[in-house]
Structure 1
Amino acid sequence: MRAALAAHDFGTVFRLARAEARISYSKIAAECDMKPERVGLLARGQGSVTTYEKIARIADALRVPGRLVGLAPRPWETSAGPARTAARDQGDPDADGGDVRRREFFKASARTGLAVGLPELTRPRAGGRIGSDYPERLRARTARLRRLDDVLGGGDTYKVYLGEYASTKALLRDATYTESTGRALLSVLAEQAQQAGWAAFDGGRHRDATGLYEASHRAAVDAGDTELAGNALAFLAYQTVSGDRQAGIGIASRSVAEAGPGAAPGVRALLYERLAWAHAVAGNDVEAEQALEAAQGALSEAGGHRQPDWVAWVDQTELEIMTGRCWAELRRPLRAVPVLESALARYDDAHARDKSLYLSWLADSYLSAGEVEQAATVTGRALGLSSGVASARPRERLAPVLRRLGEHRALPAVAAVLEQARN
């Protein structure tokens, strides 16, 4: 029900209401001020509800808290009741709701196409001519849309990013433009395909992700954009390494070579990070450390150099987190814990999905060091942050940590976090 509400999939909401709460479609229709046949069509997967007024009406009729559908608290909600006060005292991130409401707002914006602060962009008519400035305007739009990934999971952003990619692909097919403008459009298309592929991967659509990464690589090669071509391979390596470690290392090595030594420092830092990760997953500690040192060297050159927007998130804190993740994967907790603790203390909780993922490696390292209670505490923080984020990865990452914690369920701290994971 929560997933359906977050996606504004009211057909599923209505089906669950009838199946689990025995509320008839006619009753739902009457309370929501809708025609019964409209409710039935929605329940069969036909049509959607997109207007604010109707969403608010459904939320009020079914007593759905506003935050679950991307709205401000409804008038009937009590903001200072005893349950909420208790939740706040217990550290429940939903109690005050700041980060959660921010995510819900961005979800609603993404689903309805309300890209807050996006540069205006008039789509050319089919067959229309595109000016030389259009690709850069489109790239600016792509950069602004990328910011949704800071607070949302791929389950919320995938359709948005895929729609942008499909629009640019149609533009390349239908519009007219010069050869140089066409290459620039292909470069933007490669960038959009990577963003859509990342959202697909994050949302558990691995086959879609692979197809989009491969399409991105082809577009980048055709555009002559070696940096994006290398990054497409880095994405493929990151996805591949968990299933085929040697293949992942091979693709990650190709990504560094394809971008070349002339790539922007931030790009080289990112690609070396991904190579380090591939080696860490394969258990190659010497090679992983060498790649991390290469990433640090590249990052130290970044000041004063112009970087592509798609590597803007690669900074010293992010590199420290990747370093800690690699040492955690290599079962070197004495090296992993200090760097992860230090970096994550500076990492904003607003990046809920990513921080919950990174905390899972810290919890894993505490377990490897025999610090079970501390591992349980960190796991609880990760579970709290991942709640309501439409990403498959935090739960996937936390599953083996929870299994390891299960061996110590007699400890009160562990029993509490296992109960939290069940709810």
Structure 2
Amino acid sequence: MRVLISGASIAGPVLAFWLARSGADVTVVERAPAMRKAGGHAVDLFRPAMEISERMGVLPGIMAHATGTTLLTVHRPWSSRPARIDYLKLVGAVSDRRVEIMRDDLSEIYHDATRDDVEFRFGDQITEITDDGDVSFRHGPTQRFDVVVGADGLHSGVRRLVFGDDVTEHFLGGYLSVLSVPKSFARKGEMTGYFEPRRVAMVYTADHLEDARAAFLFRPQRPLDYDHRDGNRQREQLHTAFSGMSAEVDSWLGEADDTPAFYFDAITQLEMSTWSRGRVTLVGDAGYCPGPAVGGSTTLAVYGAYVLAGELARSPGDPATAYARYEGRMRRPVSGSRTLARAVAKTVVPKSRWGVRALVGAGRAISILPLPLTQAVMRLNDKGVRLYDSLPLPDYEKSPGTVAAPGDST
């Protein structure tokens, strides 16, 4: 089975790893000229993604690159005393098994685990896909593949080519921006945040990084006149949203024009009636983005890539059957992640001073209460913040051609 994957960030390399392990001939094409080594923001891996990474043999490397954040310090304009929240207890209430890692570190780890068994083609992109599986590239000759997978993110080129406008975007009201700043701006083991109604700014780093990352989340009164390709305009919009918040935040903004890495995007969900058409399917944010920074999209991408690879291995030569089972398994996690993201988007960037007080108060309460107690309470809601820890993980490795996961009657 010849497989082409577009996208070498998270879902692409994970999918390539498991497909190559099942004997597929895999090529990954990536528009960027090389793996990104700097920039990106911190992402969470929850229990199922941790277990998948452990099965891949890369978990020690992931843990070695954890951000190591233990304290969240929150500044509010109406209080002279910052609130200090136990960050480990806060995230421990959400998941029994979880790690925070920089996105680009995670991409590199997954790539390194895969590169010896998979062809990576950087600096190229897909320009056309026919019903017969003939794929044209911007650089290089046309080739035929049995399976083509779009793992190329929220603004997926594969989705645009194959599905056109057959996608609904739900804007969740906010925007996320991340930029690289000098490491001296952050404190070891601490995330420093400034919280006001409709806007939150934070800075953090990790021991192994040479820089720090400033992250900005905001909810304007009305949607921005926004183009995800126009970096200069995005910088202007970021300055407009956050200038004057504090002297420290202004110093972070001062790096925006010269930063080696800058990210800005709307927090948007994708909804499609199907992620598959003919030989083509989508995985991760390309097909079912729950919303950057609010819906656990990294864990969902890893989980989806693992499930897709397993189902393709179960039905070699029959992608239609594999895609149907893949979509069937992923509907519940995707639906749950969307619901979770909508709630988180409203909570993490409150619209009012009361909302900020409630958010900080909840963080303080979790810091004070014993972790086993908060975890026990959170476990009562496996469709909310504990969604990812509750996902079953199929074991496709026992017999890829025939294995049925728990609860699967096929």
Structure 2-normalised TM-score? 0.22
Greater fraction of residues in helix: 1
Q: Name the structure with the higher strand share.
A: 2
TM-score with structure 1 setting the length: 0.22
